[in-house]
């Protein structure tokens, strides 16, 4: 029987490439998207027998629970909590709404909800599907920007949300250890996507290939760690 991966936020960027590569390797792919208007490539991919696409706004926690109920009989080997928001970019867009003195707290709440609380809700909602699998892995896409020891200034919403996500995965690793579920936060690196921007250092396809290799190598001993793909430990 083929393995199953679930990917949130798979309509573009990292999520779409995860879906493509796992599907090409013969995995069953359960992929979510928020807006069908920008999910054309994913919906086309879902024409394959081993790919299913589900509309989901991860900021709607009731919708997460409803999808988990719809998929209650599934077995999920790897859950990739990928959906995320960066928020306004003070450098590239000259938008200071997550810079000190100009902070938009509505944006802060939205980014925290999507980047930190939604992964927690996904873990709670899909834990049974993950626990009954052979691989039992929950992987949250984090960022080096969430490392408290490296932080200096600016990007309050994004950096705070990723630091909070790292705490969520650390706590989940303890709560889910007795069920044999490996939980990690992984930074994929600075990848050329719409969010990463044109000056990012990593090309999308090889970056996701390396990330998938890291996921394949994960064991319960790594649970609770903060890692940078392709496997370097990061300081919280």
Task: For residue 167, name the pLDDT band (cuts at 50, 70, 90).
Answer: very high
User: Which position has the token pair 């959906």?
Assistant: 83
Is residue 200 predicted with pLDDT exceeding 80? no
CA proximity to 23, closest of 13, 37, 10, 36: 10
Q: Chain-wide mean pLDDT for the chain? A: 95
Burial 125-140 (b: 16+ CB within 10 A, else e): bbbebbeebebbbbbb
204-234: per-residue pLDDT in tens?
Answer: 999 999 999 999 999 999 999 999 988 888 9
Using CA atoms, how far residue 178 sits from 73, 136, 172, 181, in Å, is 22, 12, 11, 8
Distance of alpha carbon 43 from alpha carbon 10, whole angstroms: 10
| pLDDT score of 17 | 97
Whether the full predicted model's pTM is greater than 0.85, yes or no, is yes
Task: For residue 75, name the pLDDT band (cuts at 50, 70, 90).
Answer: very high
Select 4-233's CATH number: 3.40.50.720, 3.40.430.10, 3.40.50.2300, 1.10.260.40: 3.40.50.720
| Overall residue count recorded for the chain in this entry | 236
Distance of alpha carbon 183 from alpha carbon 224, whole angstroms: 6
Distance of alpha carbon 134 from alpha carbon 176, whole angstroms: 15
Asked whether the beta carbons of 28 and 77 are under 8 A apart, the reply is no
Q: How many CB atoms lie within 10 A of CB 179?
A: 12
Asked whether the beta carbons of 159 and 145 are under 8 A apart, the reply is yes
Asked whether the beta carbons of 175 and 124 are under 8 A apart, the reply is no
97-116: per-residue pLDDT in tens?
Answer: 999 999 999 999 999 999 99
For residue 70, the 8-state DSSP code is H
How many CA atoms does the CB half-sphere of 132 hold within 13 Å? 8
């Amino acid at each position: 029987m083929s393995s199953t991966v679930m990917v949130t936020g798979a309509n573009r960027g990292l999520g779409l490439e995860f879906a493509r590569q796992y599907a090409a390797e013969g995995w069953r792919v359960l992929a979510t998207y928020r807006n069908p208007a920008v999910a054309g490539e994913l919906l086309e991919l879902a024409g394959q027998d081993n790919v299913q696409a589900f509309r989901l706004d991860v900021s709607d926690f009731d919708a997460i629970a409803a999808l988990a109920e719809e998929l209650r009989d599934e077995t999920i080997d790897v859950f990739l909590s990928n959906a995320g928001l960066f928020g306004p970019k003070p450098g590239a867009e000259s938008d200071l709404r997550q810079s000190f003195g100009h902070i938009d707290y509505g944006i802060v709440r939205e980014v925290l909800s999507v980047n930190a609380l939604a992964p927690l809700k996904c873990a709670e909602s899909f834990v049974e599907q993950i626990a009954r699998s052979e691989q039992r892995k929950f992987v949250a896409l984090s960022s080096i920007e969430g490392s408290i020891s490296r932080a200096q200034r600016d990007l309050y919403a994004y950096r705070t949300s990723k630091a909070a996500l790292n705490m969520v995965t650390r706590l989940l690793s303890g709560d889910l250890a007795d069920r044999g579920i490996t939980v990690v936060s992984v930074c994929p690196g600075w990848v050329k996507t719409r969010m990463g921007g044109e000056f990012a250092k990593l090309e999308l396809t090889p970056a996701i290939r390396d990330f998938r290799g890291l996921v394949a190598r994960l064991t319960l001993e790594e649970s609770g760690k903060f890692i940078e793909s392709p496997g370097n430990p990061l300081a919280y």
